[in-house]
Structure 1
Amino acid sequence: MTVAKATNHKDTYQATAVLLIFLGALYLLDRWLNFGSLGLPWLMRKDMMLLYAAVIFLWFKSDKSVGIILAGLWLIQNIGLVVSLLGQVSSFLLPAALLLVGILLYFFSSR
């Protein structure tokens, strides 16, 4: 039991370290290249930092809950983008997906 807990902390530290290295490199590249002048200002938006953190935590951490929560927060912040990308299908797909996710969460939480 203690081995799993130590591994969990190690995963968290590793994911956090990779996130900090990535964000530091990204900021440094932005200072040198100025992403805004290259037509890539979206790379440095605050909500994209949340997406970067979600992807890194999903990749490096064995417990995926933190990455899923961060990805969900990013999705909520960018719901307009998601709806516009889905187009007409979003009027049915989005509510169906929300219902499905809610039912699955309820099912797993009641077990």
Structure 2
Amino acid sequence: MAAVNHKDTYKAFAVFLIVMGILYLIDKFIGFASHGLPWVMQKDNLLLYAAVIFLWFKADKSVGIVLVSIWLILNIGLVIALLGQMSAYLLPAALLLLGVILYLVSTR
């Protein structure tokens, strides 16, 4: 059995904690909301920051992909608004295609 190495997971989580600490301190001292940036410290965007950090630092991208997927589900209204009229057909087709691909990959 192969040895499990969690070093990249610890590194990604450490970077996430550092970034969150820096953002929190900046928010307390300066205040993002007072500068027109209240979205920086919203809970769902913190999930996106974690996803990007885990995708960047972790060799196994599954955690980052799951976090991005959760962020997309939580912000489905934003995704639909950005797609505009195309969302009527493109979004359901993309979801079906993604589901089929994931199913086929998982059954191999």
TM-score by length of 2: 0.97
DSSP-derived class of the 1:62 partner: coil
After TM superposition, list the pairs within 5 Å mapping 1:1-111 onto structure 2.
1-2=2-3, 5-6=4-5, 9-111=6-108
Report deviation, 1:32.
1.4
AA aligned to 1:86 is L
Q: Number of residues paired by the alignment?
A: 107
Q: In structure 1, how many angstroms separate the alpha carbons of the residues matched to 2:71 and 2:51? A: 8
Report deviation, 1:81.
0.4
Q: In structure 2, how many angstroms separate the alpha carbons of the residues matched to 1:12 and 1:61? A: 6
Query: Please, which runs of 5 or more residues in structure 2 have no aligned partner?
Result: none
List structure 1 segments (4+ residues) > 3 angstroms apart after TM superposition: none
DSSP-derived class of the 1:37 partner: helix
Q: Percent identity?
A: 64
DSSP-derived class of the 2:33 partner: coil
Query: Please, which runs of 5 or more residues in structure 1 have no aligned partner?
Result: none
Higher helix share: 1
